[in-house]
Amino acid sequence: MKKYDFEASVGFVVNNTAKAFQKTLDLELRKNVGVTLGQWRVVASLVQQPGLTQKEIADKVGVEGATLVPIIDKMENEGLLKRKLDTKDRRVNRIYLTKKADSLWSSMTECAIYIRKVSTTDISKDELETTLETLHRISKNLSTIFEVHPHMESSRKNRE
């Protein structure tokens, strides 16, 4: 049987790093703002583009619609967002942030900035730029060859 050191592969390291980002950001958000990583993703999507549908939000954050429904329901019950019927298609709900969510946005972004700062400790600006450039090229290669389009690809400018 051929040996393969998967723990040394780019995919494994990137996946573990992504999980570490997610876990630490979730902890910081829960501790400092009282929201989850899933709720953060919904808010971030709606800050960028208010009035998205549930399906559009699910596509942006990379989850199934059925997974997103309880998150949206909880956020609506907590007064963080509201659903409004689409003016052109009454079968569709558009989602909007409330003033309460708006007031928490600054604290949420502070958590993300803190996680980014901690994660890049002792890493030079040049090293970080090279890493990001390399990861973008890897993503582009995979997207081009396999015709897959990661959901976060479109929001490079809003990195954690």
Given a contact cutoff of 8 angstroms between Cβ atoms, the answer to whether 60 and 47 are in contact is: no
Entry pTM? 0.83
Alpha helices by DSSP H, listed for the chain, are 10-32, 37-48, 54-61, 65-77, 99-119, 125-146
pLDDT in tens, 55-89: 999 999 989 989 999 999 999 999 999 999 999 99
- Domains in the chain and their CATH numbers? 6-158 (1.10.10.10)
pLDDT in tens, 31-43: 999 999 999 999 9
| Unique residue bearing structure tokens 């909880």 | 74
Give the pLDDT means over successive 10-residue stretches in the chain (160 positions).
Answer: 89 96 98 96 97 94 91 96 92 95 97 97 97 95 84 42
